[in-house]
Structure 1
C-alpha cells in the first residue's frame, strides 16, 4: 500500500495484526524490515504499521532535501491514508528523532510515545565519537563496525545473520546522503517540552552509537517522561534484548491505554 504526501511523494507502508494502531519507525537509511525480527511481539496486541522512509524500499526516492520534521509529515500521510486519527508511536534511532517531531508538530495524532536509542540532536545531545565516525566512513569496515555497535560480541558469535539493521542495500547513494544529513541536522530541543503524550524512553546501557546519556536528557526535557535502561545492551537493544524491551513497551502502552 502507498500513501501520497502533500508534495506528491508515494510512501509505501505495511499493516499487520489487529487492535489499536501502533506505528513502528525504523532507523536511518533502513526500511520497514528493520522491525521484522520483533514485529510479532506487537502484532498479537496491536495493529502494527510500518513504512519505508522516502528514499528507501518501495517508497519514492526524490533527490531533494530530507528532514526529520519532513519524515514526520510522511508518517501523518500514512495515518491519513489509513483513516486513523491517532496511534501509538514507537521510534528507534532516527525513527525516534522523527517520532519526537511527530509528537511536537502533530500532538493530536500521538496517543503514547516510545523513544528508543535516540537523542534530541547534536546541538544539545550527546554524539558518537569522532573515532566511531571515521570507522563507519571506511567502506572496508563499515558493516562490521556497525554490527559491533549494534550487538554484543556474544550475540554476534551466536547469530551469523541475516541482519536487519545495516541499511537498505537498494538505496541510491544520493538517498543515503540525504538520510545522513536529515538525521545529523535533527534538533527538536525547543519543542520537546511541548510533548503531551505519555512518553517512555528506552536505551541500552552500553550504547555508544547514540550514547546512553541521551536517555535521561530526553526524560528530563519531556514532561512526565520516564527513562528505562536495558542493562548490557548496545544500539539494537530492541532486537538482542527483545524479551526485556518488548515487554517494557507493551507494559507501558497498556498502562497508557488504561489512563485514557
Structure 2
C-alpha cells in the first residue's frame, strides 16, 4: 500500500502527515513524547493500511512537524488536541477511530472530549487519570525515570535511557534521533499542564463516553500501573483491558503480531456499531 506524505498548517504548528488509502474507517494514530509518526511503521506495513485509511502525524515539536507557534499554550494537552482537531477538519475526517500511545493517548482523550469525529478510542500506555498531581500518581509509577518525561534538555545519556524505557532493546536507530529532535519545552509544559489539572478530566471522559473504548497495554510497561485500569468503569469498554505478553511501553512496535489483529478487530467492532446506528435512520428515510 502506497503511503502519501504531506504537511498541513494548523494554528498550532505545521504538521507532517502520512496516510494510506485503505477504504475502511479512518484510524488516526497519535505517537508519544519524543517519538514521531515513524513508530507506526509496523501498522502501515501491514494489512491494516490496505483495509483502512491510516493517518499518522508528527505532533508539534516532534519529527518533521514544526515547533509550536505559542509553546506555553500549544504544548499543553489542550493545545496538542486542538492541533489534532484542526488536522481532522483539514483532512475532511468526520468519523474516525483514534489510537493514542503514551502522551498521544492523553492527547486522544482530550480530543475525544470535544471533537465529534472521534467514534472509537484505543489507548496504550496512557492511564485515563483524574485531574491533578494525585490523579497522576494513581496511574503512573513514581520513580526517578519519570522525571525524564518533564526534563527540558536531554543529554545523549538521557535520550538513550528514554529510548530504552519506551522500546526496550527493539528501537529503530532513527528513534534516538527523534528523541533528540523533540522540542524539550513540550516536556516541561505538558507535564505542568497535567499536574495542574488543565484540560478535561480524562477518567470522566473515558468512563462517560458513548463510543467504544479499547485499552491495550504491554505487560512490562515501566511507566504505568496496570492495576490502575481495574479501577476504571467505562461502560463502553471493548472486550477487556488487554495486556500484551512480552511487550513493554510500545506493544504496537514490539509485538505487532499480537497488536495489529486487536486493532483490526476493534475497528470492525466500531464499524459494525456505526452500521447498527445508521440502519434505523435509513429505514426512517425510506
| TM-score normalized with structure 1 length | 0.83
2:155 corresponding residue in structure 1: 139
Q: Return closer, same or farther for 1:90/1:173 CA change in 2, 3 Å cut-off.
A: closer
Residue 184 of structure 1 and its aligned partner are, at CA, apart by 5.3
Distance 1:254 1:165 in 2: 34
1:34 corresponding residue in structure 2: 39
Residue 80 of structure 1 and its aligned partner are, at CA, apart by 0.9
* 5+ residue gaps, structure 1: none
Distance 2:122 2:102 in 1: 11
Question: Which deviates more from structure 2 when the two are superposed, residues 249-258 or residues 161-170?
Answer: 161-170
Distance 2:194 2:39 in 1: 17
Residue 142 of structure 1 and its aligned partner are, at CA, apart by 2.5
1:232 aligns with 2:246: yes
CA contact (8 A) 2:103 2:126 kept: yes
1:207 corresponding residue in structure 2: 221
Question: Which deviates more from structure 2 when the two are superposed, residues 173-182 or residues 245-254?
Answer: 173-182
Residue 109 of structure 1 and its aligned partner are, at CA, apart by 0.8
More helix by share: 2
1:93 corresponding residue in structure 2: 102
1:46 corresponding residue in structure 2: 52
Q: CA RMSD in A?
A: 2.7
User: Relative contact order (alpha carbons < 8 A, sep ≥ 6): 1 or 2 greater?
Assistant: 1
SS in 2 for 1:228: strand
Aligned length: 251
Residue deviations 1:6-55, cap 9 Å, x none?
x4643332222312211001001322112123322321211111111111
2:125 corresponding residue in structure 1: 117
Distance 2:64 2:156 in 1: 28
Distance 2:9 2:95 in 1: 18
Question: Which deviates more from structure 2 when the two are superposed, residues 49-58 or residues 36-45?
Answer: 36-45
Q: Return closer, same or farther for 1:194/1:89 CA change in 2, 3 Å cut-off.
A: same
Residue 135 of structure 1 and its aligned partner are, at CA, apart by 7.3
| TM-score normalized with structure 2 length | 0.76
Residue deviations 1:191-210, cap 9 Å, x none?
33332211110011111222
Distance 1:161 1:15 in 2: 21
* 5+ residue gaps, structure 2: 1-5, 275-286
Q: Return closer, same or farther for 1:150/1:160 CA change in 2, 3 Å cut-off.
A: closer
